[in-house]
Structure formats: C-alpha cells, structure tokens
Amino acid sequence: MKTIDFKVRNDRVAVLTIDLPGRSVNVFTPDFIADLDTAMERVFSDDAIVGAILTSGKKEFIVGADLTELVTRYERGISAAEGSHLFDLENRIMRRMETGGKPVACAINGLALGGGFEIALACHWRVMASDGKAQLGLPEVSVGLLPAGGGTQRLPRLIGIEQAMPMLLQGQPLNPAQALELGLVQALAPQADIVELAAQWVVANPGAQQPWDVKGFKVPGGSGCGTRNMAQCFQFPTSINRRQSAGRMPAPLAILSSVYEGTQLPFDRGLRIEAQYFGQLIADPVARNLMRTLFIRKGEANKLVRRPWDISASKVTRLGVLGAGMMGSGIAYSAALAGIQVVLLDTDQTAAERGRDYSRKLLDKELARGRRSEAQVEEILARIQPTSDFDALTGCELVIEAVFEDREVKAGVIAVAETCLNGDAIIASNTSTLAITSLAARSSRPASFIGMHFFSPVERMPLVEVIMGEQTSPQALARTLDLVAQLKKTPIVVNDGPGFYTTRVFSSYVDEGMQMIADGIKPALIENAARLAAMPVGPLAVVDETSLELRWKVILQARKDDLDDRFAKPAGCRVLERMVQLGRLGRKAGAGFYDYPQDAKKQLWSDIGNEFRQAEKQPPVEELVERLLCIQALTAAQCMAEGVLVNAWEGDLGSILGVGFPAWTGGTLSYIDTLGVCNFVQRCQSLAERHGARFNPPEWLLDKAERNEKLVTTPGLDD
Ligand code: NAD
C-alpha cells in the first residue's frame, strides 16, 4: 500500500498510519481510498487481528477532499445523478468499518477536516491530541458543498441536531477541549500517547457498535418535527441564509434538508439522502465557483504564484508608514501584529500618536476578550514608533505611503522619505486612484516604486492589490509580495491604469447606482436590488460611506488628466455633482443618499424625489440586479482587454475579497462564464440599447464569444 503503513502490534491491534507520499498533508485521493479498502478488508479477514486504529504519519490527520480534483471533475461535466454516487466507495468503506464486527478507533493527531473528520466519525471511538494544534471541523459549507462522507448523518446522530447544526452550517473548526465537551471525541491525551490509548480501547471493546446501529436508536434531542429547539435548528438558519446571501448559496439549505430528512430515516437511507443533496450541489455552478476562486486560486495567490521566484526571499523587519490616518494606522497595526517594527509618520507627533492609538483600541478589545495578555499588548504596541521626523525612516526596507489622495502631497512626502532611505528600499503607494506610473515619475527610483492597495478596515480585509508601474522592477514585485505574505494577506498583481482593477470595478457599481437615480428609479428599489444580488452593501449606502465628495474629486482629477469619458464623465455623474452641490457628501457630513439622525438609525433621504424626478412606472427588480452585476463584470472584462488584469482568476479573487462582489458567482469573470460568454454579451448589448454605450462589450470579449471560449481557466484542467 502506497498511502497507508499497516502494522500489527503485539496486542494484535492493527495500526493504519496514513501518509500520502509526495504530499505535505493527507487528502482523499483515489489511491488512498483503494488502500483504505484493502487495509480494512485485511483487518476484518485476518483472525489474528482484534481491531484497528486509524492515525496519520503527518503533522495533520486528514484535511479533506482534494478540491482541485473535484473542480476538475465538475468542469468535465457531471450530472446531479452522477454526483450523488461520487463518494459511494468511501461511504461503503466507512460503513464496513462500522459494521465489520471489530472495533475501530481513531487517534487524531492534527487537523481533521471535512472527509478527515467524517472518517473519524465512522470509527467507534476517538481520541484527540491535546498538546498540538489539532482541530475538528466540517468546512464544506464554505466552498458551497455539504459533507458527503456521512457528516450530515453521523454528526447529528452522535451529538444531536441542535449541537450539530452550527458545525455544519458555519464550518468553524473546534479545538480539543470543545470537541471533548460536545462528545465528538471520547478522550484527550498528549500526542505521544494517543495510539497507545486507542489500542487499549480496541482491546477492551471487542463488540463495539455505533449507537445508530443499535436496535431502537433515537437521535439525541429528537428529529423531524420532534427536534428539540426546532426553530433554532431549521427555521432561523433558513431565514439567515436568505438574508445573508439572498438565497443564492444553495449549500446551507441542502445541509438543512439533508439533516431534517435523513435523520428521520434509518441510517443507510439517510446516507442516500445526503448523497442526493450533494449531487445537486456539485452539479450547480455555485459550488464550483466557490471552490475554484476561494479555495484553489486563493491558495495559489497566498503561495505567491505571481512572484518572480528567481529573486531570493526577503523579509521586512522595519517598515515605514507615511500618514497615520485611517489606512496608515490599520497598516501599522497589521504589520506590528506580524512582528514588524513600524515607523508611523504624520505631520505632527499628536497625529502620529493618534494613529498608534488605533492599534491600542483594537488590542484593548482583544485583551478584554481574553485573546491576548497585557504583556502581549504592550509588546505589539512597542513595535509602533509614532513620529513626525523623517530621519526615523532610516533603516526601513520598505515604506508605504498613505497620506492624502493628492498627487502633490504624495510627491512631497515621497521626495523627503527618499533622502532618508537606503538605495535599495522599496516605496509603495496605497493610493486607490492615482496612476502608479505618474507617482513613480516624481520619485528618484521609479524601478523600486510600486502600488500596494490595501482595503478598509485593513485589519479585517484580506486583499492587497499590488500594482506594477511601467518601470516597476521584478525585485520590487518580489519584495512587495513577500511583505504581503508576512502580513498574512492575499495578493493579486495588476498593471497600472486609472483606478487599476478593484477601484474601477467598485466605481462602476456605485456609478450605476447613481445613474439609476438619474433614471428615476426609487432609491429603496436600487438598494434592494443590490441585496438581492447578494452585494454586501447597496451602491447608495456604500458611496455614502466612502464619501460622494471623494468620488467627485476622482472624476475632476480624471478631467484634469484628460482621461476619456468613461473616467471623466461616468454614469451617474450628474446626480453625484448635484449631491455634492447640495452638501450631501455622505455619512461623514451627516447626509448623503441617506440621512443620519443622531439618535436613530440611518434612513434613505426622504426628499430625494424633489431633487431627482422619480418615474411612475418602476422597472422590475431583476433588471436592476442584472445592471448592477453586469456593469461590474463588464468592467473586469475591460480590464482584461486592456491588460490591467493579467489573469482572469485574479480578477475573480480581487472582486470578491476587495469589492464584495458576491461569492456565489466565483467573481466578476466567473460570473460571465457561468452565464456563458455569448449569453453575457447578448445581455450587455441589450442593456447598451436601453441604457447607453457603457454596456457595449469590448472587442476582446466579443472575440471570446465568437470563439466560444471561457474566460477563467480551471487549475488542473486548462493550465
Ligand atoms: P486619511 O485622511 O484618514 O489619512 C491621511 C493621513 O495622512 C492624515 O493623518 C494626514 O495627517 C496625513 N498626512 C497628510 N499630509 C501629510 C504629510 N505631508 N506628511 C505626513 N502625513 C501627512 O486618509 P486615508 O483614508 O487613510 O487614505 C490614505 C490613502 O489611502 C489615500 O491615498 C487613499 O486614497 C488610500 N486608500 C484609502 C482607502 C479608504 O477606504 N479610506 C482605501 C484604500 C486606499
């Protein structure tokens, strides 16, 4: 057997140590399944063996299915019926483990996720290492799937539906203490002892059976209509799913149905129910979209696939941050958390200290929640040196500029900073709109100049959009990506252009929202359409947050820079201009598309109809949903056409992680693929006829449609 080391101990207990060759972690592969089948048959057929233990020869136990393999299978085309048989063999082996007549125990030494945890659940007894970082969980829901190795059937039968639901629906892993308390494992022990303990249990329990195979078994806490706290278990999660994803995420509903229906039936029929729901999910594009973008491609981005690997690895030990405002303070906090010394500079000492206080506030919260000790808080804060003295930047390997969005102010601070830095230091700008090449032109070292676009709030937003100026060197890119990895963020790398990628997509969304106001559409309908599309915030609410004035300034700058009408006169700009004239600049000003009363919740501006005429006949909401999603996807396609985006998958990742484009689509460009490029092009052409030339697809996309080509490749299949 290639993947399992099979040894029989003196006490006649077989120890099956799973260790996939050539892989850093154990995952389910066809080889492993075949070996497991062989190994279990040996256990059951050899009278000299009294029972078995499953454990792992790697740091982790088993981390689940090989998602790349699963996505590839899907892309080749799979029906729901075929999908429902995908794990037949695994399920048959697990049933054999349970009913083969010999005790099987599991010694969980590290992470046991997805199928890894399900196989543990199919053992009669589980012991978990208490001294490492072992965790148990069923994260399938986060990639649009359900646990199809019996997870939706064994877990509720083991600990009751009420306790099982959060694990199934939220996918959060549990630590050893939580696992023991819930009854997911029967014992905890130091890692060195778990196999021995499991062996003792096997020897002592020759007649072990799963509770659900004992006659008269009842699900703890009941099932079906008799489930304890029925509303919490089934009704609330259904409405939460509707609210959070506008019902666009099928996995939570499939999980609820599988548990509800399956637990009222005998166990083996429950497994069939689970398999049927799994088949539906795997045949639906949502799961494939989520797996491809948020698991496979995100994983690749985190491994820095865009880094030029001929350049040696680097590490930032001292980071300069220019500007201690909202972004600068967030960047300083994230860097200090990552163990980096930070020089946080602003115009005066008070402003710089205010920037460090941001970290103090966040750390105090962590302290109050018991997540950090006082000593840790002080240690992290001590890494941030607030100052107004540029000389303090001496020795910084990299400096991130985050001062006002003004070319002159930026050029000024960069020029002074450069006089204090070593010749090989990198300068990154956090600008969200100004072209990197134009800022680099004012620097004495354009090859070391790069864009590093963080998102607000920095400590919570995972994406960094790295922007290559025309002269940015591969060294600068490599070192910037190394810093992104140090900060534990996910990078995408794009080329320069007005608004690069994410700001351009984001702007197209808010501009379309404002154009809808110009078209006489009621604001509530616009905001609801965004919610139905599963955008996290409506375009009017979000432009209020980021400031209408800021958007207006960007347009004025585009006019000054002689950019074409797409940037200088975008959709909705007349509404925007009028709002700015009226002083309704957004949340900070206390008024925008919403009113912000001091002692009540914000409300849409009730008098907006007096300023902008509202049409008597309002369009169907689906049309607005289509407009809001298509304009963003089309903008992404334009970025591909213009070479701003190098890879479609980076466009996908950036749109979900940076802009909040709904995850169910897989991202802006996967959305086009999901609709079908030809279909998308036709929709855009029809929108262009009704709403204007901004919906005209670029030649690049027409060409793709003509050749019937997809935009996003599938790893393992197309590249
Ligand atoms: P901010 O107004 O909160 O902070 C800017 C800080 O820069 C202020 O503290 C100011 O005192 C300081 N500053 C100004 N001139 C300076 C000088 N000459 N020397 C030293 N410090 C100086 O702005 P912000 O929201 O943090 O944005 C900063 C940059 O980040 C901008 O380029 C912006 O476009 C970009 N950005 C902002 C966001 C966002 O959501 N706010 C997101 C991504 C990028």
469 CA distance to ligand 1 middle (Å) = 20
430 CA distance to ligand 1 middle (Å) = 9
Spatial distance between the Cα atoms of 120 and 3, rounded to a whole number of angstroms = 17
Q: Which atom of ligand 1 lies at the shortest distance from residue 412's CA?
A: 18
Active site residues: 453
Residues 6+ apart with CB under 8 A from 616: none
372 CA distance to ligand 1 middle (Å) = 29
| CA distances to 410, 484, 530, 548, 616 from 535, in Å | 33, 26, 5, 19, 26
326 CA distance to ligand 1 middle (Å) = 7
Spatial distance between the Cα atoms of 667 and 648, rounded to a whole number of angstroms = 9
Test site for ligand 1: of 343, 344, 346, 410, most ligand atoms within 8 A of the Cβ? 346
Residue nearest to atom 42 of ligand 1 (CA): 455
Q: What is the pLDDT of residue 72?
A: 75
Residue nearest to atom 35 of ligand 1 (CA): 431
329 CA distance to ligand 1 middle (Å) = 10
**DSSP codes, 439-500:** HHTTSS-GGGEEEEE--SSTTT--EEEEEE-TT--HHHHHHHHHHHHHTT-EEEEEE-STTT
Percent of the chain surpassing pLDDT 70 = 99
Name the residue type at position 165. M
263 CA distance to ligand 1 middle (Å) = 55
Q: How many residues does the chain have?
A: 719
Residue nearest to atom 20 of ligand 1 (CA): 346
- Tokens coding 300: 């690749």
Q: Which residue, among 584, 623, 656, 522, has the nearest Cα to 144 in the 3D structure?
A: 656
Residues 6+ apart with CB under 8 A from 190: 129, 130, 131
592 CA distance to ligand 1 middle (Å) = 22
Q: What is the pLDDT of residue 66?
A: 81
Residue nearest to atom 40 of ligand 1 (CA): 456
Spatial distance between the Cα atoms of 360 and 354, rounded to a whole number of angstroms = 10
Q: Ligand 1: which residues within 6 Å by Cβ?
A: 322-328, 345-347, 351, 402-405, 409, 412-413, 430-432, 453-456
DSSP helix/strand/coil, 293 = helix
457 CA distance to ligand 1 middle (Å) = 13
**Cβ-based neighbour number of residue 235 at 10 Å:** 11
Q: What is the pLDDT of residue 718?
A: 57
Q: Which atom of ligand 1 lies at the shortest distance from residue 550's CA?
A: 34
pLDDT digits (tens, 9 = 90+) for 31-70: 999 999 999 999 999 999 999 999 999 999 999 988 777 7
DSSP helix/strand/coil, 717 = coil
Residues 6+ apart with CB under 8 A from 144: 249, 250, 251, 281, 284, 286, 287, 288, 289, 290, 291, 664
Residue nearest to atom 8 of ligand 1 (CA): 325
CB 121 within 8 A of CB 144: no
Q: What is the pLDDT of residue 658?
A: 97
Q: Which residue, among 105, 157, 149, has the nearest Cα to 127 in the 3D structure?
A: 105
DSSP helix/strand/coil, 546 = helix
Q: Which residue, among 145, 46, 36, has the nearest Cα to 93 in the 3D structure?
A: 36
The most distant pair of C-alpha atoms in the chain lies apart, rounded to whole Å, by 88
Spatial distance between the Cα atoms of 404 and 356, rounded to a whole number of angstroms = 18
Question: What backbone phi and psi angles, to 5 degrees, belong to 521?
Answer: -85, 140
Residue nearest to atom 1 of ligand 1 (CA): 325
| CA distances to 515, 579, 614 from 691, in Å | 10, 22, 17
Residue nearest to atom 28 of ligand 1 (CA): 402
Q: Which atom of ligand 1 lies at the shortest distance from residue 456's CA?
A: 40
Q: What is the pLDDT of residue 716?
A: 61
CB 516 within 8 A of CB 368: no
pLDDT less than 50: residues of the chain: none
Q: Name residue, tokens 């004495």.
A: 444
366 CA distance to ligand 1 middle (Å) = 26
Q: How far is CA 24 from the centre of its chain?
A: 22
Residue nearest to atom 29 of ligand 1 (CA): 402
Q: What is the pLDDT of residue 449?
A: 98
Pairing of strands 384-387, 341-345: parallel
Give the DSSP letter of residue 221.
Answer: T
Q: Which atom of ligand 1 lies at the shortest distance from residue 324's CA?
A: 9
CB 349 within 8 A of CB 385: no
Percent of the chain surpassing pLDDT 90 = 92
Q: Which atom of ligand 1 lies at the shortest distance from residue 328's CA?
A: 26
Q: Which residue, among 525, 493, 533, 520, has the nearest Cα to 632 in the 3D structure?
A: 533
Test site for ligand 1: of 322, 327, 546, most ligand atoms within 8 A of the Cβ? 327
Give the DSSP letter of residue 338.
Answer: T
What residues pair up with 56 in beta bridges, in sequence order?
18
Q: Which atom of ligand 1 lies at the shortest distance from residue 410's CA?
A: 18
Spatial distance between the Cα atoms of 49 and 101, rounded to a whole number of angstroms = 12
Using omega within 30 degrees of 0 as the cis cutoff, is the peptide bond preceding 156 cis? no
Test site for ligand 1: of 348, 354, 401, 404, most ligand atoms within 8 A of the Cβ? 404
CB 43 within 8 A of CB 49: yes
Predicted TM-score of the model (pTM): 0.90
- Tokens coding 621: 């909401």
Residue 203 host element (H or E): helix 194-204
Name the residue type at position 151. G
Q: Which atom of ligand 1 lies at the shortest distance from residue 323's CA?
A: 7
Question: What backbone phi and psi angles, to 5 degrees, belong to 28?
Answer: -75, 120
Residue nearest to atom 12 of ligand 1 (CA): 323
Q: Which atom of ligand 1 lies at the shortest distance from residue 355's CA?
A: 9
710 CA distance to ligand 1 middle (Å) = 39
